[in-house]
Chains A and B, each alone.
Chain A
Amino acid sequence: MAMGKIKITCKEATAICTKAQYGEASLLDKIKLNLHFVYCKTCRLFSRQNSELSDICALAKKYQESHKCCLSAEDKERLKAQIKELDKEK
C-alpha cells in the first residue's frame, strides 16, 4: 500500500482488519482502516464479525485440545516392528 494513498478499497480494508486481529497492523494502516470505516458500513460489519471470529477461534482451540489425538500403543508397536525389519535388511 502506497504511503500517499489514504483512501483504500474494501479488499484492502479487510486485509488490514485481519492483520489487526493479530495485533500486527501498522499505525498508518489502522488510520486508513478507520477512515474507511467512516463511510463503509459493510467493512464495519466485517470487522465486528472478524473479532467474533477470533473469539470463536479460541473456542476451536479448546475443542482441539479436548479432542487431542496421539500415537496409540498399536501405532508404536507397528512402527517398532517396521524399524526392526528395515534395520535387518540393511
Chain B
Amino acid sequence: MSEETKIHTLDPDKWIDSYADYLFNYTIARVSDAEKAKDLVQETFFAGLKSMKNFEGKASERTWLISILKRKIIDHYRKTNSKKGKAEVRMNFYSDGERDGDWLEERVPQEWNGGADAEMESEELGAALQACIEKLPEKYRMVFEMKTIQGFDTEDICNELDITSSNLWVIIHRARTQLRKCMEDNWFKK
C-alpha cells in the first residue's frame, strides 16, 4: 500500500503518550495560560473520542487531532472576544473632536527612569513585562504573543484566528500602548 492510499486508524489508548505533549506545546504557543492550555488539550481528546466515527482515515491521527484543537483555539479566541465589559477595558490615549488624534495630555509618554540599558537586571525586567502582558485582555494577549513572543507571520495569525491584518495591527498597537504604559507606571516611574 503506498503512502497516499494508506488508511489511518485511531487508537485512543495511545493518544496521551503519543500526542499529549505535542498538542500542549502547540496550544501554549497560542494560549499562554497553562491551565487554559491544559483544558483545551483535554477538550480536544474528548471531542476526538466523541467524533471517532467521523474519522475517515485520510489524515494521520495527529493531523486529525490538531484540526480539532485548532477549532478549540479559535473558539477560545472568539469567546474571549465576546466577553463584554471584562475583556474590553481599554485605555484611550488620544483625543477626539477638535484635537482629534493628538495625545491626551494625561496619557502623554513620560521619560523613563534609567531606560532599558544593557546593565539592567534582565531577568527582572523580563518578569516585569510578563506581569504586564498577563494583565492584557486575553484577545490582545493572544495576538500580541503570537506575533511578538512566538514570532509567527502576520498572515499565519490572521488565518488561524480568522481576522484581517488591519484588525491584527489595531490589536497589536493597543496591546503595546498598554504595555508601554504599564511598564511606565510599574517599572520606569521616577
Interface string of A54-72 (1 = CB under 8 A from B): 1111011111100011110
A60 touches B49 (CB 8 A): no
Q: Residue A9 at the B interface, CB < 8 A?
A: yes
Q: How far is the CB of B104 from chain A (nearest CB, A)?
A: 10
Residues of B contacting A19 in the complex (Cβ-Cβ under 8 angstroms): 169, 173
A60 touches B176 (CB 8 A): no
Interface string of B74-100 (1 = CB under 8 A from A): 000000000000000000011000001
Contact of A63 among B13, B115, B130 (CB under 8 A): B130
Q: Chain A: which residue is nearest B187 at the CB level?
A: A56
B109 touches A9 (CB 8 A): no
A50 touches B133 (CB 8 A): no
Q: Which residues of A contact B (CB under 8 A)?
A: 8-12, 14-15, 18-19, 21-22, 24, 42, 45-46, 49-50, 52-57, 59-64, 68-71, 75-76, 79-80, 82-84, 86-87, 90
Q: Chain B: which residue is nearest A89 at the CB level?
A: B49
A-B residue pairs, 8 tightest by C-beta: A9-B101, A59-B126, A63-B126, A69-B34, A11-B101, A60-B129, A11-B94, A52-B116
Per the bound structure, the CA–CA distance linking A57 and B141 in Å amounts to 13
Of residues 1 to 41 in B, which have CB atoms within 8 Å of A's CB atoms?
Answer: 12-13, 15-17, 20-21, 24-25, 28, 32, 34, 38, 41
Residues of B contacting A12 in the complex (Cβ-Cβ under 8 angstroms): 101
Q: How far is the CB of B189 from chain A (nearest CB, A)?
A: 14
Known A64-B32, A71-B38; contact A83-B15, beta-carbon cutoff 8 A: yes
Interface string of B42-57 (1 = CB under 8 A from A): 1001100100000000
A59 touches B122 (CB 8 A): yes
Q: How far is the CB of B19 from chain A (nearest CB, A)?
A: 11
Per the bound structure, the CA–CA distance linking A82 and B126 in Å amounts to 38
Per the bound structure, the CA–CA distance linking A14 and B126 in Å amounts to 23
Per the bound structure, the CA–CA distance linking A9 and B104 in Å amounts to 12
Q: Chain A: which residue is nearest B108 at the CB level?
A: A42
B176 touches A70 (CB 8 A): no
Q: How far is the CB of A38 from chain B (nearest CB, A)?
A: 16
Q: Chain B: which residue is nearest A8 at the CB level?
A: B101
B149 touches A59 (CB 8 A): no
Per the bound structure, the CA–CA distance linking A52 and B187 in Å amounts to 13
Contact of B176 among A18, A55, A84 (CB under 8 A): A18
Q: Chain B: which residue is nearest A63 at the CB level?
A: B126
Of residues 113 to 129 in B, which have CB atoms within 8 Å of A's CB atoms?
Answer: 115-116, 122-123, 125-127, 129
Known A10-B94, A60-B133, A87-B49; contact A53-B180, beta-carbon cutoff 8 A: yes
Q: How far is the CB of A30 from chain B (nearest CB, A)?
A: 15
Q: Chain B: which residue is nearest A84 at the CB level?
A: B13
